[in-house]
Every structure is written in C-alpha cells, then in structure tokens.
C-alpha cells in the first residue's frame, strides 16, 4: 500500500492522515479524494482544519449548499472530514456534526447496442478503441481500464484479472473472443510503436512507463461520441452501464451481472432493471389485461 503524494507541501497533520488512510487500507483514489476535500475545507477556514469547531463545520456545509455544490460532492466531503476528525484527530463529536444529504440516484444514461458500436468505431485510434472496448465488453470502471497490465489478460481462461478494484477487491471480468482479438490488434500496434513493455501497462500513457490517465479516456469517449453523432451525455462509465443493461436484456442472471461488475450489494445492480427496455416491454400493462378480459366477455356479433 502506498501513500498518495502531491506537489503541495506536506504538513504534519496531512502526513498523519495519510498514514491513517494507509493503515486502514483505503485505495489510492479514495486517498486522493479525501486529501482534496480536506484541502478545500482548510481553504474555506483559512486556517488549519484541526482548529475547526462545530460552528465552522456548519458554516462550511451551508456554504456548499449556497454555492450549489452537488449532493455527491457534499457527501464526499462528509466522508473525508469524518475520517479526518474521527480517525486522525479523535474528535468524534465533530465528525457527528457533519450532515449527509439524502437524494435519489438518477437513472444512468445507457447506449443502445448500435450506439455502442458506433462509439467504438469512432474512437480516436486503435489504443482507445481497445480501451473503450474493455469498458463496454467487460464492464470495467474507467480506473480499472487505465490500470490494466498486459499480464492481466488471460487468454487461456478467457478472463481479465482486475486487481485492487473499487473497495480494494480483486475479481475476474469476462473476456469475449471479439474483445480478445481487439486487444491483440492493439498489442501488435503497441509493439510496433515500442510502447508495450514486458509485464507493463496494457494502455500506456504519454510516457509508456505510466498508465493512460482517466482524463484521457474521458476525452476519447467524448471525441468519439461527437464524431459518431451521439447526442447523449456519455462518459467511460456510460459504457459500463450499457454493458450491464445489455446483459440484463439478454436474460443474464442479475446475480451473475453483480459479480461481473464487482458490486458488493445486489440492490446496486438492480438499478439496471429500471433502464432495461426489454424488461419494461416484457411487462403486460393492466390496460392490456383489462382489454383482453372485456373482449372475452363481449357477446358474439
């Protein structure tokens, strides 16, 4: 487990918080998010966060609401500050004063199968076509795609090994023959460009010693959507949503989809039943049943 570092000077408080996060096994991205939220809180206070009072916390949360900060960002700040106050500073009284926003999750945007094909075809180059192909063909999160290594592709067992995914969990993702062929096309091109190191990143970034950034993958999706003429608001996560929805529409058991996505709760996966058009169309509406009942009772003409 590594400690996340940035270019900003590290204060003793921040170093202690980083050690606390490391000891509790928080993932790299979670560490980065927590540090960013605490830095914003300190900027609001204009003094070190360990001097904060319950009234300071209240003012900060009111400020967030007044500035129109999204509920997910506010809740992210709550998680970060609760960790700071409870785990690092031992001030559970302050941690309890933070208020979480309860809100309804929006239904995810989903591409049709045809739109997904158009998006992949419009990807800017074979590397991004292969990377986005993994996001859609295996349902991986954008960070999981970015951090794949060449050795994670198991063509013998037809699996993709995802190491230290969300929640620091390892899992196997599916590898279809079509996706394997797409990855081999990229591997051959990457070898030709001399950017594929033995046991290195499957999708190298600008420097082949580093993985492609999630920001680059986001840009690739947006560029591909524009070229393909897709007007929906899309991101790499849209491909993951589409993967799950299309499997559901193929009558794949929802528990299997849960495992493939790496969801810890079935209710998270069940969200896709609300966007599956096949699931919706398969339900006979009450008006149809009423009409059929009335037709049965109608006297012969």
Please state the rounded mean pLDDT for residues 276-295. 52
- Looking at 39, 91, 166, 218, which residue is catalytic? 166
* Paired strand residues for 174: 159
141 catalytic residue (yes or no) = yes
Sequence-distant (≥ 6) Cβ neighbours of residue 116 within 8 angstroms = 136, 239, 242, 246
Please state the rounded mean pLDDT for residues 72-94. 95
Torsion of CA 161, 164, 167, 172, to 10 degrees: 10
pLDDT of residue 28: 80
pTM higher than the cut 0.85 = no
CATH code of 113-280, in short, is 1.10.443.10
The total number of residues written for the chain in this structure? 301
- Looking at 82, 240, 241, 246, which residue is catalytic? 240
pLDDT of residue 49: 94
Interatomic CA distance for residues 153 and 137, integer angstroms: 13
- Looking at 14, 147, 241, 263, which residue is catalytic? 263
- Looking at 37, 40, 82, 141, which residue is catalytic? 141
How much of the chain, in percent, has pLDDT values that exceed 70? Answer: 84
- Looking at 28, 59, 161, 237, which residue is catalytic? 237
What's the mean per-residue pLDDT of the chain?
85
Please state the rounded mean pLDDT for residues 148-153. 94
292 pLDDT band, cuts 50/70/90, is low
pLDDT tens, residue by residue, 117-147? 999 999 999 999 999 999 999 999 999 999 9
Token code pair at residue 114: 């045809």
| Architecture in CATH for domain 12-96 | Orthogonal Bundle (1.10)
Interatomic CA distance for residues 275 and 269, integer angstroms: 11
166 catalytic residue (yes or no) = yes
Strands 159-162 and 153-154: antiparallel
149 catalytic residue (yes or no) = no
Measure Cα distances from 227 to 19, 26, 63, 119, 131 in Å. Answer: 45, 38, 40, 8, 17
CB 160 within 8 A of CB 133: no
53 pLDDT band, cuts 50/70/90, is very high
All structural domains of the chain with their residue ranges: 12-96, 113-280
pLDDT of residue 168: 62
CB 262 within 8 A of CB 171: yes
237 catalytic residue (yes or no) = yes
């Amino acid at each position: 487990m590594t400690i996340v570092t940035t270019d900003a000077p590290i204060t003793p408080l921040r170093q202690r918080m980083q050690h606390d996060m490391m000891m509790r096994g928080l993932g790299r991205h979670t560490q980065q998010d927590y540090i960013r939220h605490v830095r914003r809180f300190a900027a609001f206070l204009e003094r070190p966060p360990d001097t904060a009072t319950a009234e300071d916390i209240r003012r900060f949360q009111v400020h967030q609401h007044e500035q129109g900060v999204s509920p997910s960002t506010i809740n992210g700040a709550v998680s970060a500050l609760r960790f700071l106050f409870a785990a690092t500073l031992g001030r559970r009284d302050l941690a309890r004063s933070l208020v979480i926003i309860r809100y309804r999750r929006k239904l995810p945007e989903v591409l049709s199968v045809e739109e997904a094909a158009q998006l992949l075809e419009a990807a800017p180059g074979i590397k991004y076509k292969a990377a986005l192909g993994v996001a859609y063909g295996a349902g991986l999160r954008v960070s999981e795609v970015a951090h794949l290594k060449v050795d994670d592709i198991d063509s013998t067992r037809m699996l993709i090994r995802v190491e230290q995914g969300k929640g620091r969990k390892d899992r196997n993702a599916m590898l279809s023959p079509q996706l394997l062929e797409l990855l081999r096309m990229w591997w051959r091109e990457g070898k030709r460009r001399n950017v594929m190191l033995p046991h290195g990143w499957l999708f190298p970034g600008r420097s082949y010693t580093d993985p492609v950034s999630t920001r680059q993958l986001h840009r690739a999706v947006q560029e591909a959507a524009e070229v393909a003429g897709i007007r929906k608001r899309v991101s790499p996560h849209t491909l993951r949503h589409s993967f799950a929805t299309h499997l559901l529409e193929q009558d794949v058991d929802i528990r299997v989809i849960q495992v493939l996505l790496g969801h810890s709760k079935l209710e998270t996966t069940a969200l896709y039943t609300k966007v599956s058009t096949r699931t919706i169309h398969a339900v006979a509406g009450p008006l149809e049943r009423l009409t059929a009942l009335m037709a049965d009772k109608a006297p012969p003409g």
